[in-house]
Amino acid sequence: MFIDCIYKALRTPKETQQTLEILTEADMLSGDSSVIQLYEQKLSYYFNTKHAIAVSSGTAALHASLLNVINPGDEVLVPAICVPMTISAILQAGGVPVFYDCSVHSFKPDLKDLDTKITNSSRVLVTVSMWGYRAIDNDTVAFCRQRNIVIIEDAAQSAGTDSLLGYEGTIGDIGCFSTHEFKLISTGEGGFILTNSDEYAEKIRSFSHIGFSEHHGGFGYADGLNYKLSAFQAAVGIVQLTSLDAKIQGREKRKVKWKSLLQSSAGISFLNSDVMTRHNCYSLVCLLKDSANQSGIELANKLYTVGINTDTYRYKNTIVSNYPYYKDFYMSPRYTGDNSLDFPNATEMVRRMLVLPCHERVSVEAIYRASQNIINFIEEG
Ligand SMILES: *Cc1c(COP(=O)(O)O)cnc(C)c1O
């Protein structure tokens, strides 16, 4: 593969040195280390939230958050375009996933569709900002406030995406982030939660520390799991956070390069990102026009054969309710079972979508070569 969405994140020798220095000075290497406190302070300072809680993964962040907001059987509204980890966290927290459509060419909710999905059991709206594109706006927030629905942002892919409302992941009630290898803050495995709510922070922190409660002065006042991050990962995270802005700049260059080379093709357009003051450039989402005469998946399959592995190939651009394990939650009377009727906007978008990586291992030469492949495959139709 000369372009691959699966890659080893860049950690420079200097960054590795800085990480080792933090670890050498560390009082402990466990999740109770002062390194964790430092990491959390730096996260809440960067993202400008009252609380940051480091946890062992993005899925753990979602699980710990959902479990402390919903009661078993509560309905959790979740977009038709997301990842299985979002749904797993809902199910493990005892929630019932209710799939909603996105608005046209966007990852934000279609509020008209959302309105038809609301019941007395609706408790949480999960927004999922895929590939760093925004998934929440003022209207979404107002919609939820009116209906007493808690907003949990799955911002796993959108660390650093910014808008007039603030950073993605800090706009709803709770923001969940992943620091898995492929995410912009990359610690191998890991995650964190951001919130301005003292109540949620206390509950989620306690839950992810096996029920330990600072407030009550010990264990045994609440239940929980051990979702703590270790000092090893936090030390990597501290250094990664320092280079987040530079990383985004590097990705921006690649995104601009892709766009400048591909815009000459009549078959390609790009997902609109000008509503953001900054897109973290996790990936570039292209939308194929009708004149391309093929779907995003068909094109991605061809690209794979010439050495280009995209998220479109890897995840097959599927609507999440299509996964066999979730079929019990995709049934009448709420749904017809036909994706194009149930989620017209999401269906249209996944049909057109081709997602191109912009990470630090993608070279400019590779972008030149791959763009030519893409343009050729589109011309051949
Ligand atoms: C990566 C990711 C997750 C899960 O994060 P992990 O750290 O891998 O558990 C959840 N949601 C989205 C949108 C993701 O991209």
Going by CA atoms, what residue is nearest to atom 14 of ligand 1? 156
Instruction: Take residue 287 and report the two structure tokens written for it.
Output: 């939308």
DSSP letter for 79, please: E
**Is the shortest distance between the CB of 57 and ligand 1 below 6 Å?**
yes
Residue 310 scores a pLDDT above 90: yes
pLDDT band at 275 (very low <50, low <70, confident <90, very high): confident
The rounded Å distance from CA 191 to ligand 1 centre is: 9
The rounded Å distance from CA 28 to ligand 1 centre is: 27
Phi, psi of 131 (to 5 degrees): 50, 30
372 touches 366 (CB < 8 A):
no
**Is the shortest distance between the CB of 33 and ligand 1 below 6 Å?**
no
Residue 194 scores a pLDDT above 80: yes
Q: What is the pLDDT of residue 125?
A: 98
Per-residue pLDDT tens digits for 119-170: 999 999 999 999 999 999 999 999 999 999 999 999 999 999 999 999 999 9
**Is the shortest distance between the CB of 85 and ligand 1 below 6 Å?**
yes
Distance, CA of 239 to CA of 39 (rounded, Å): 9
**Is the shortest distance between the CB of 233 and ligand 1 below 6 Å?**
no
Residue 115 scores a pLDDT above 90: yes
- The Cα-based distances of 381 to 208, 236, 371 in angstroms read 51, 45, 15
Q: What is the pLDDT of residue 122?
A: 98
Distance, CA of 217 to CA of 224 (rounded, Å): 15
Kindly give, in sequence order, each residue whose CB lies less than 8 Å from that of residue 260, ignoring residues fewer than 6 positions away: none
The rounded Å distance from CA 264 to ligand 1 centre is: 34
Residue 273 scores a pLDDT above 90: no
Ligand 1 atom nearest the C-alpha of 62 is 10
80 touches 101 (CB < 8 A):
yes
**Is the shortest distance between the CB of 157 and ligand 1 below 6 Å?**
yes
Going by CA atoms, what residue is nearest to atom 2 of ligand 1? 156
Residue 46 scores a pLDDT above 90: yes
Top mutation candidate among 180, 192, 208, 359 for ligand 1, by most atoms within 8 Å of CB: 180
Residue 40 scores a pLDDT above 90: yes
**Is the shortest distance between the CB of 265 and ligand 1 below 6 Å?**
no
371 touches 262 (CB < 8 A):
yes
- The Cα-based distances of 365 to 59, 255, 264, 354, 372 in angstroms read 35, 13, 18, 20, 11
The rounded Å distance from CA 265 to ligand 1 centre is: 33
Residue 356 scores a pLDDT above 80: yes
Q: What is the pLDDT of residue 37?
A: 98
The rounded Å distance from CA 216 to ligand 1 centre is: 32
Q: What is the pLDDT of residue 264?
A: 92
Question: Which bin fits 186, alpha (ψ -120 to 50), beta or left (φ > 0)?
Answer: beta
Instruction: Take residue 258 and report the two structure tokens written for it.
Output: 């892709």
The rounded Å distance from CA 85 to ligand 1 centre is: 6
Top mutation candidate among 5, 6, 59, 184 for ligand 1, by most atoms within 8 Å of CB: 59
Distance, CA of 39 to CA of 148 (rounded, Å): 32
**Is the shortest distance between the CB of 156 and ligand 1 below 6 Å?**
yes
Distance, CA of 247 to CA of 224 (rounded, Å): 35
Task: Give the whole-number percent of the chain exceeding pLDDT 90.
Answer: 95
Q: Looking at 112-116, 164-168, 210-214, 349-353, which range is the least confident one?
A: 210-214
What's the N-to-C CA distance of the chain in angstroms? 23
**Is the shortest distance between the CB of 186 and ligand 1 below 6 Å?**
no
Dmax (CA) for the chain in angstroms is: 68
CA angle 244, 175, 48 (to 5 degrees): 55
**Is the shortest distance between the CB of 59 and ligand 1 below 6 Å?**
yes
The rounded Å distance from CA 59 to ligand 1 centre is: 6
Q: What is the pLDDT of residue 216?
A: 86
**Is the shortest distance between the CB of 86 and ligand 1 below 6 Å?**
yes
**Is the shortest distance between the CB of 191 and ligand 1 below 6 Å?**
yes
**Is the shortest distance between the CB of 129 and ligand 1 below 6 Å?**
no
Per-residue pLDDT tens digits for 67-87: 999 999 999 999 999 999 999
**What does pLDDT average to over the chain?**
96
Name the residue with higher pLDDT: 301 or 216: 301
Ligand 1 atom nearest the C-alpha of 191 is 7
**Is the shortest distance between the CB of 243 and ligand 1 below 6 Å?**
no
